[in-house]
Structure 1
Amino acid sequence: MVIQPEPVLSLGAILGEGPVWVKRDQSLWFVDIKAWRIYCFDPATSAVRSWPTPEQIGWILPAKDGAFAVGLQSGIHRFDPATSTFELVHDPEPHLPGNRLNDATVDRDGRIWFGSMDDAENQDSGRIYRMELGHAVDMGVSPVCVLNGPAISPDGTLLYHVDTWKGLIWRSRIGQNGCLSETRVFAEIETGAGFPDGPVVDAEGCLWVGLFGGWGVRRYDPDGAMIGQIAFPVANITKIAFGGSDLSTAFATTARKGLSEAELQAQSLAGDVFAFDAAVCGLPTAEAVLP
């Protein structure tokens, strides 16, 4: 059976990113990095809400206190949708004003694992951090230009992170103390297949990754072998999130960024949100602990 993603939200996002299914409101939350905007989409009613952000925003994650943790260019903030307010929690890179936060996930203990990148996409200045108790710790992974992820295995012992420009997906072991070790290449995207973007892990421990410029999404087994690929009618797929009542619907954000006028005319759905039956369940989104 060929899986065909269907558009579910016409948006035309410049750089749609960071989709996450939030159980408490049964909605998909995501961002448009270059439009400085947060979105909430309820697939049951097709209702959409949105909020402007004061800076570029890389990701949004639910927090245990009912608010949200968001990654703005200047650091991690607490976002309250009811008041549309942002409160700085921590700036991990005050010495790197050209960087911005790009992607993130939360582990079972409520710790936020997130990455940064060079906004100009020229310098290898992107790093991985773990934030707990209001402070971010540099995890010591070699810096890259565009870092995507991280994503965490179902048992919480493995961290996947992406060097987008070099086409590499890395895997590190998470120790009991939260430190990383045994970092190695998990999978490599071949030349011409696009660039690996946001990763996410399903309930079977397999890794899904969006392909920017690759017209699809790939699935890799825990050993790093590609076991599936889903084709899209648009080139830039940034990331998927598992949602719906049983977490088996995959929602995908896409982007118009980098497309020429001719390409945009040929890809009228670029920047829209898509959905498809993943035939496998995802993992519930953990809630972040904010100070």
Structure 2
Amino acid sequence: MTAGTGATPRCIWPLGATLGEGPVWHPAEQALYFVDIKQHKLHRVDADGGNTRTWDMPGETGFALPVDGGGFVCGLAGKLVRFDPATGAFTPVTEFEADRPGNRLNDGHVAHDGAIWFGSMDNAETSASGALYRYDGELTKHDDGIIITNGPAFSPDRKTFYHTDTFGKTVHAFDVEADGTLANKRVFATIAEPGWPDGTAVDAAGNVWVAVFRGARVEQYSPAGELLQAIAFPVPNVTKIAFGGPDLKTAFATTATKGLNDEERAAAPLAGGVFAFPVDVPGLPQHLIALDPAK
């Protein structure tokens, strides 16, 4: 592992989120959107920390991903809904997992073809009831039997898919078949102590960036799975990064106060804030959801 870039994450919005998650860079607005799952909120912030906005969600929302044509698709327990920030309206997209009432949705990703890849998880974090799904107008299941799913992401050439078993401390890689299905599940990286792998992002060189919850860091891995560097954070719970800015060379990170005791909160007053740090290699562009599969 190298010594790192020397980048020091700076807090651009110390909002103290309980479970800040799912950061996405909105290319048209040049702004970051993210959720606070436990507080039922969707947040927006400019790259410099200005122009913040907050919307109430109708429940625990694992992700809010931008749609081609405006608005977001949000992942709530057992369903996807479309949200229009201008009107505050929620419109049903699809429902599922009626047989898994203890689940909620967690991390999500928009693929190059406008499909949504996302995972569910046991909200009590004890049962292996989480699954991995793809939605492109039809819902298909691609993995199952996971307590906490995380980190769906694709390599730049779209031939490798990454998916994380948080409690298994493992990032898995899959081959992407010509028909879009996944095959050859294998271990890409195992996260060392302390902490658990959370959200994942991939840069333009194919490096895989993994946020480490309870590990106070973000790790960067080569496409071959070699640990290249670790970016240290002044807070314990780093949940996910998103690449943004006009050149996609700023990494924005969400964090959380969830699970911290009073002593830990006092030692990390910026916990739950949004952070930013520069990167040498730009990220991949944020794709938009195509709700019409013919688009």
RMSD: 1.0
Say whether residues 1:115 and 2:116 are aligned partners: no
Deviations 1:41-90 (A, max 9, x none): 11246110110001100001111121211111131110100011111101
Please tell me whether residue 268 in structure 1 is matched to residue 269 in structure 2: yes
Point out 4+ residue stretches in structure 1 off by more than 6 angstroms.
Answer: none
Deviation by residue 1:25-52 (Cα, 9 ceiling, x = unmatched): 0100000000000001112461101100
C-alpha distance in structure 2 between counterparts of 1:62 and 1:251, whole Å:
17
**Structure 1 gap segments, 5+ residues each:** none
Partner of 2:263: helix, strand, or coil? helix
2:152 equivalent to 1:143: no
One-letter amino acid matched to 2:203: D
Partner of 2:91: 87
Residue 68 (structure 1) aligned to one of 34, 57, 72: 72
| Corresponding residue number in structure 2 for 1:131 | 135
Letter paired with 1:159 = F
- Counterpart AA for 1:206: N
State the SS of the aligned residue for 1:234. coil
| Deviation (angstroms), 1:92 | 2.5
The equivalent of 1:30 in structure 2 is 34
2:6 is aligned to 2
User: Identity rate of aligned residues, in percent?
Assistant: 47
Tell me, in whole angstroms, the C-alpha distance in 2 between the residues paired with 1:264 and 1:146.
Answer: 24
SS at match of 2:118: strand
2:254 corresponding residue in structure 1: 253
1:47 aligned residue: 51
- Secondary structure in 2 aligned to 1:265? helix
Q: What secondary structure does 1:47 align onto?
A: coil
TM-score (norm 1): 0.97
The secondary structure found in structure 1 opposite 2:62 is strand
- Whole-Å separation in 2 of the counterparts to 1:193 and 1:119: 22
Task: Kindly indicate whether the alpha-carbon contact (under 8 Å) linking 2:12 and 2:48 is maintained by their aligned counterparts in 1.
Answer: no
User: How far 1:142 sits from its partner (Å)?
Assistant: 3.7
Q: How many residues align?
A: 288
Unaligned runs of 5+ in 2: none
- Alpha-carbon contact 2:13-2:49 (below 8 Å) kept: no
